[in-house]
């Protein structure tokens, strides 16, 4: 029977896409940009990492822990997320004009790059070998559903951060359109949930 979950991108491909999104945003960041642009780029990175970490912890890691509890990285990953959250909290409290802002972005991205390298060379290939495409697609659909819930309250803020952070960039149009689509998609289910059935 036809199953919409089987059409979803796999959870491992979605995780790789999230990693790429953070790296593309980081590559827009430079010390000579205005404090407003630096803050918007940093906020984009922080929002993306917070949502990504929650998705992995709620949807992906429990499945991998159940299937391959001996994989060391699965036990290292959440403490690494907690360390990123600690730096994110400091970064959010630091103005873009403060020289420490640049240092915190670099510290955060060093941790992210280390985490991504481990995940993409160890955990994701293991998941693809153990779980199979159908299960990975089902998990991808679960991740998408949860992502929409997490994005909903932040959709407008995220779209604005993309617009400011990528202003003047050749990637701005693509990323801005993607951000607007994500925001629109994330808000649509909320409106539908609130719709009342027609009364006779």
The three-state DSSP-derived secondary structure of 135-171 is HHHHHHHHHHHHHHHHHHHHHHHHHHHHHHHCCCCCC
pTM of this structure? 0.80
Query: What Rg value do the Cα atoms of the chain yield, rounded?
Result: 18
Residue 197: Cβ within 10 Å count: 5
Within 3-98, where are the H helices? Answer: 11-28, 35-55, 61-67, 73-92
Q: Give pLDDT, residue 5.
A: 57
Q: Give CA–CA dist 25/67, Å, rounded.
A: 33
Q: Give CA–CA dist 6/76, Å, rounded.
A: 30
Per-residue pLDDT of the chain (200 residues; tens, 9 = 90+): 445 555 689 999 999 999 999 999 999 999 999 999 999 999 999 999 999 999 999 999 999 999 877 777 788 889 999 999 999 999 999 999 999 999 999 999 999 999 999 999 999 999 999 999 999 999 999 999 999 999 887 777 777 777 787 876 655 445 554 554 444 444 444 444 444 444 43
pLDDT in tens, 80-125: 999 999 999 999 999 999 999 999 999 999 999 999 999 999 999 9
Phi first, then psi, for residue 34 (nearest 5°) are -65, 155
Q: Give pLDDT, residue 3.
A: 53
**8-153 has CATH 1.20.120.520 classification:** yes
């Amino acid at each position: 029977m036809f199953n919409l979950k089987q059409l979803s991108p796999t959870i491992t491909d979605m995780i790789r896409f999230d990693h790429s999104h953070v790296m593309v945003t980081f590559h827009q960041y430079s010390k000579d940009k205005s404090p407003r642009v630096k803050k918007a780029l940093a906020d984009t990175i922080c929002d993306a990492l917070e949502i990504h970490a929650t998705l992995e912890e709620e949807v992906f890691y429990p499945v991998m822990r159940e299937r391959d509890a001996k994989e060391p990285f699965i036990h290292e990953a959440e403490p690494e997320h907690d360390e990123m959250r600690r730096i994110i909290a400091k970064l959010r409290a630091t103005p873009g004009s403060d020289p420490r802002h640049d240092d915190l972005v670099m510290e955060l991205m060093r941790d992210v790059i280390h985490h991504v390298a481990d995940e993409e060379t160890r955990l994701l290939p293991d998941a693809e070998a153990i779980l199979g495409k159908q299960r990975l697609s089902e998990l991808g659909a679960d991740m998408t559903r949860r992502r929409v819930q997490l994005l909903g309250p932040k959709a407008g803020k995220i779209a604005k951060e993309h617009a400011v952070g990528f202003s003047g960039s050749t990637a701005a149009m693509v990323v801005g359109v993607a951000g607007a689509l994500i925001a629109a998609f994330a808000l649509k289910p909320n409106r539908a949930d609130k719709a009342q059935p027609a009364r006779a």
